Amino acid sequence: MRAIATIKDVARAAGVSPSTVSNLLNSRDHLMQPETRQRVLLAMEALSYRPSRVARQLRGAPNPVLGLIVPSVANPFWGSWAAQLETVLHAHGRHVYLCNSDRDPERERAYVEQLRADGVEQIVLSTSLPSLDHLGPAMDAGMRIIAFDREPQDTDPPGLLSVSVDNEAGAHAATQHLVDRGHRRIAFVSGAIRTVSRRRRLAGYRRALAENGIPFDDALVPLSPELGDADSGPLARQAVHALLGLDHRPTALVAVNDMFALSASAALRDAGRDAADIAVVGFDDIPFSALVSPALTTVRQPLREMAEAVVALAADGTAGTDARTSLLFAPTLVERESTARRIS
């Protein structure tokens, strides 16, 4: 393990001063002779010199990395989102550190701190927390936060940017779609409703019911205390079990996301019901939804466009202001086999 070469080593090897090397590093080539330039370049090469980003950061240089905190990398929706955002950022020559908060506020905080400590100045945060008060210190210190999948709240700190799909509209469309198919007993399957986006989705479901004169029925919304991601399987199973145990069973079901939808479908199948018995709509349109049988009707988030928007915001200087910018994207209902049947 050879020691790492520093700017001094290079300077010595090239017979110049560190400043000359630094000038070269910072593309101020014009203030040195071509001949000197060459010598320095050679010395760098020979020592396989790489400037220390740590030292540069100490001097105030920004870290070009963007932090991306997601609730669960085990949920393919977040994997797709991360991949999408990275593709777009990569085209802009930027890199991403993906952090998994596991929906744990403490871990989320710790990652924000860690990223800050590493000099990262921009974070795209998909938080589980309705309140962002805990980010105050980081934002005061210059951290720029873009909230994703979290529509803005009144109490948000100034300077916060938000990019989100219109969750309420999406869930409304999903529910209305079922009503249009003749369903009146429509369940809502989800883990705990503790995030802004889930609240909005539930609200969309309720509005659609109300608009169609269908009374809201608690029994059709069997929530579990857990949030559920990779573990949505057992949660959905419990919910389905509860729903099938009702006297007046649902004929259709809106799931808070595709993981719950697919898990619920599997549970229904295990219970001997198929898509002809109970229709299912998901949310997110993860790649699997098109792959399974019956293919899942779901609400698609325009990930590509949202990624472009996030990158544009990240690149934009204006974000330093106190203006709370908020972008809301329209979701699309993707009709597939899981809701094909029209009833009475």
Stretch that binds DNA, among 9-17, 125-133, 167-175, 225-233 (CB under 7 A): 9-17
Any contact of residue 6 with its own copies (CB under 8 A)?
no
Any contact of residue 19 with DNA (CB under 7 A)?
yes
Any contact of residue 25 with DNA (CB under 7 A)?
yes
Interface residue with DNA, options 2, 12, 13, 36 (CB under 7 A) = 36
Interface residue with DNA, options 20, 72, 75, 301 (CB under 7 A) = 20
Stretch that binds its own copies, among 21-29, 76-84, 186-194, 220-228 (CB under 8 A): 76-84
In the bound state with its own copies, the residue whose beta carbon lies nearer, of 175 and 257, is: 257
Any contact of residue 43 with DNA (CB under 7 A)?
no
- The partner in contact with residue 18, picked from its own copies, DNA, none with C-beta cut-offs of 5 to 8 angstroms by kind, is DNA
Any contact of residue 59 with DNA (CB under 7 A)?
yes
Secondary structure of the chain in the HEC alphabet? CCCCCCHHHHHHHHCCCHHHHHHHHCCCHHHCCHHHHHHHHHHHHHHCCCCCHHHHHHCCCCEEEEEEEECCCCCHHHHHHHHHHHHHHHHCCCCEEEEECCCCHHHHHHHHHHHHHCCEEEEEECCCCCCCHHHHHHHHCCCEEEEECCCCCCCCCCCCEEEEECHHHHHHHHHHHHHHCCCCCEEEECCCCCCHHHHHHHHHHHHHHHHCCCCCCHHHCCCCCCCCCCCHHHHHHHHHHHHHCCCCCCCEEEECCHHHHHHHHHHHHHCCCCCCCCEEECCECCCHHHHCCCCCEEEECCHHHHHHHHHHHHHCHHHHCCCCCEEEECCEEECCHHHCCCCC
Report residue 292: phi and psi, to 5°: -80, 170
CB of 177 to its own copies, least distance (A): 23
Any contact of residue 22 with DNA (CB under 7 A)?
yes
Interface residue with DNA, options 1, 13, 31, 218 (CB under 7 A) = 31
In the bound state with its own copies, the residue whose beta carbon lies nearer, of 50 and 248, is: 50
Which residues bind to its own copies, rule: CB under 8 A? 1-2, 4, 48, 50, 52-55, 57-58, 63, 65, 72-76, 78-80, 82-83, 86-87, 90, 95-100, 102, 107, 110-111, 113-114, 116-119, 137, 140-142, 230, 233, 262-263, 265-266, 269, 287-288, 290-293, 320
Which residues bind to DNA, rule: CB under 7 A? 4, 6-8, 15-23, 25-26, 30-33, 35-36, 50-52, 54-56, 58-61
